[in-house]
Every structure is written in C-alpha cells, then in structure tokens.
Structure 1
Amino acid sequence: MDTPWILLGDFKSPLSVEDKEGGTPITTYQISDFQDCVMRNGLEDLSQVGCKYTWSNNEVFCKLDHCMVNKKWLEEDMRGMAEFLAPGYISDHTPCVVTIMEAMEQTKKPFKFFNMWITHEDYNSVVEEQWTHLGLDTRRGMAQYKFKLKLQRLKTTFKQFNRLHFQHIKERSLRVQEEFQRMQEIGYAIGTFEEGYQLVQKRADQLNRADFLYCKQKAKCKYFREVDRNTTYFHALVEKTNRMREIMVIEKRDGGTTTCLNEIVNEFVESFQGLLGTSLQRIPLNTDCLNFGRTLNLEQQGSLILMPMEEEIKKALFSIGDQKVLGPDGYGSKFFKHS
C-alpha cells in the first residue's frame, strides 16, 4: 500500500495467548494464522488506552477488536491513539474511538555509538590516535573528569567517522554487493576474476556485517537474525520499540486526560518541580536502634569499602550484552569492551 491505512474492527481472533482471560486457554496453533497475516502485511497495533479486553460473555474476556496501522503509516511517523471504552448495554464489544494527533517536531538527535563502527579496519587506529591527542589537552583535573572529557570530545571524531564510512549504510552495502555479484558472474564465465576482486569481496563482507549490526541494534532484538533485515518484521520491531517509549496520553492532576504533547510536557515539569526541593519536616534518625541485632565486624566492614580489582571490573563489564541500552552519554558496552 502506498498510503497510510488504519484497519479497525472485530478480527474474530486473539493475537496472543495473553488476549484471553477465562475459559479454555488459547494455543499458539489457534492464533498462528492471524499472527502470520499481521506479520506479512507489516501491521502494528496503534497505541491504545482504556479496556484491555474488548469482548465478553460475562464469563470469558477476550481481545478480539484491534486498531492496526500499516507500514506506510509508521514510515510517515503519523501519530494516533485508540481508546477502547466500556461497552454499555447495547453490545458485548467495546467501542473504539481513534484520535489522530499532530506530528511531533523533529528534535536534534543525541549522540549514539553504533556497534557497526568497530567493523572498519581503521577503527582502532582512529580511536587510539584521537585518545592520545585528547590526553594532551586534558592534563588537569581528576581522572574521572578527564575520562568524561575525553569521551565527550571523541563524539565529534565518531560523527565524522560515521559520515565518511557508514552514512547510508544500506545503500552502500547494496551497491558493493551488486558490484561483487557482477564480478563473480564475469569471473565464472571467463575463468578468471578481474583485478581488485578480493578487495571488493572484503569490502562487501565488511559492509554486509556492518549493515547487520546496525539493523540488530536498531531493532533491539536479542534473537534478530541476518535474514530478518529489510523485512516487515524488522521495520515492525524498530517502530514498536520507538512507540513504546512515546507517552501518548496522561491523566492530569485535575483528573482530566490530555493527548496534547505540550500539556504532557508541562504536567511532568510541574509535577517534578513540586517534588524536588520541597522542604519536609522529618523525624531525626535514632542511631541507638542500629546497635540492636546482628552487626558487621571490622573485617566485614572493611570488605565493603575495598576498591574493586581490575579483573573484577573487567568481568562485570564483559558480562553486559552488546545490545543493552546505551548510557546517558550515548556509549554502549561494545565501545568499552572493544576499545
């Protein structure tokens, strides 16, 4: 479909085993056809509020009604919300009210370290050169402060590195793959490969690997496979992850609800302004009560404040998965493990 679509109504089938409460449990076989249809057509449930289940016979509750959008809707970053209301006495299905919202203003994207960067042959040398150069400019201050300053200044280098070698990674990978395939066809036809064949082969393999790491990181899926790239499954994963972070509706302090983005922002700001810095009268802590019960001896107390060994720090760092959420500074565990 070349236009955004909303598919709304009673689909006569649950979409997951959690969509039914009471009665005989749902089996995966019963819902497999519906799930396959949704996946093949790149459909995704619109953000919803209100009733979790949409049909009931007073004994069994089930979600049979859905409000879904197609891939084009997600690509154009259109925003909407489906509200499932109480059914009343007219029908045993809950009515659905769809609200189409105004598009969000594009904000400046923060820095994000992409794991695909480490696949480039010049990555280590670039990082080492810049890290040494930055060390000359950060001689003053505590070690933690200098480390933070280095990471902050290294972001500029990574942005330039990305523009030079990885910008439009998907298109770059496809062009090199096509060139590699062309050289293979000619080589197997005449019995010899063109000059530079091995270089193109190496470049194609590196870009293909980089593209896979980029897609895997974007999808944030542990079981993402290489064959899932460029499929509706991949795009659905990415959009679903992005939509989960978006707050579409909020209940205000006066009891009403709002879907206006500016009002949602103001509610959060005013709420935290009322919490932070508020003076409260507290009862002083009675330290005598700490002497009752079992206490730590001096040796145990000392073990709590021991500096961790370098091997312990390394073990903890390398136990973090490569696809885990990035830190506030935009760097993930992959950067520290590889660099």
Structure 2
Amino acid sequence: MTSQVITCNALFLEKNLELLVSFVYAHNDVVDRAPLWNYCLNLSSTTSPWCLLGDFNCVINLSEISGGREHFTPGMQAFQDCLAGCGLNRVRTVEDNFTWTNKRLLNPVFKCLDRMVANGAWFNLFTEGNVFVKPRSIMNHNALLFNEPMQLQRIGKPFQFFNYMIEVPGFHNEVAKAWSLFCTGSPYARFACKLKELKVLLRQLNKNHGNVSSNVLVARANLEELQVNMLNSEDASFLSVENNLIKALNLALAEEESLYLQKSRVK
C-alpha cells in the first residue's frame, strides 16, 4: 500500500489462480504522480494476471476530454509512457467514455479519469471481460464494474426411470427396439450397451408424453369444457365423449400421483 495505490492478492476460485488487483487514487499534481508510475513499472515484472482500476486523475489523449482547456500535457505523456512500459492496456469499456465531471452548469467539463487497465496475462484469463460505467449518483465520479460473463456448462441430468412410464403407449416397443440392438463384447458390455440405448429412447418417449402435471390440467380443462356444453344439450353422444375424457383425466391423475409418490420416496 502507498499513498496512491493499494494492491491486493486475490484468488480466482474457478481456476484456482492468484491475481493481482491494484486500486488507484492518483494525486492531482503531475509531479506527485511520478511515484505511482514508478511503482507500476516495478510491479509490471509479475507473471500473474494483474489489473489496475480507479481514479488516475489523468487522461491519455485529448479525445478523453470534453470542455475546458483541451491541450496535450506532460502528465498525459507520463501516463502513456507508464502504460507502455508496463505492458498495460485498457479493458474494454461498455457505453460511457467519460467518468468524471465538474458538474458545472455553464461550460461543464467531462473527462475519462477513471479506468481499468490490465496486463496480457489478465486478458488471456478474462477473454470476454468488460467494464461497465455505473451511474454517478451524487458523486462527480462514475463507479466501474468489471464483469466476466460466466461460461455456463450444460450439465446433463442423471437418467431417472419413472414407474408410470410402463403404462405409456409405446413403452414396450422402445424396450424391444433397444434390446434388439446388435452389440459386441462381453455379456456385461452388451448389457450396458443396450441400457445406454434404452435411456435415449425412454428420454425421448418421456419428452413426447409431456409434463404429467400439465397433462392433468389439460385433461381437466377438456372435461370441464365438455360438461359446460352438456348443460344445454340432450345429445346422448356427449356421454360417450365424457366417459373417455374422464378416463383420460383419471389416467393423468394416476401418472401424477405415481410420479410424486416416487419422488417423495414414501413407502
């Protein structure tokens, strides 16, 4: 820790790697910032992923200034030399380029005083990292938020056989299809091969059959819709249709009960 920077060791848990993170609050005066640049040059020999972020109290070029006196200064040159000597580059920033304003109503000044820079090892580790410039609220500086989009891994659910599947139309055909598959190897290897194929077929059968709870809702809605229509009709054919819909609802209810009974593991 110095008067202008605090450097921390951080552990990136996902890959069990140590990082260096330096939080900067540079002096206003160009001469007083010189020790900060020297500190950065000394630390740049690290092979660890390293980033610096915060208020550098200086811009790199004139495009980072809007309003006020816009001319190249020795402070900008010193900042450029430090970044080049340390091998540091700005982390990709989303949206707003200016991170500070004097909030003056007449002829306001905007500058990019706050930034995040990092070495090559950091960019190799966080290839998709972005810096978001947050609203400044009551302050005259914007906060910076670094974000690395999570690389979500698709984790397959373990196969689980539900007992109600035995009564689903097509179940026995799928079992017969898997068991007729030609496999080579020992009896155990052939058995495992057929089971593996059967899992794929049963997963698809279960998917085509639909969600059991949704099936209950659909079956009940179909029955209730018919019974509403039956109130003002004496058509006897409705009774046959009603009987079939009642059977469909009872079957859906039995499947749902079987599923929840199996999941609850109640004997």
Larger helix fraction of residues: 1
In the superposition, the TM-score normalised over structure 1's length comes to 0.30
Report 1 or 2 for greater relative contact order, CA contacts < 8 Å, sequence distance ≥ 6. 1
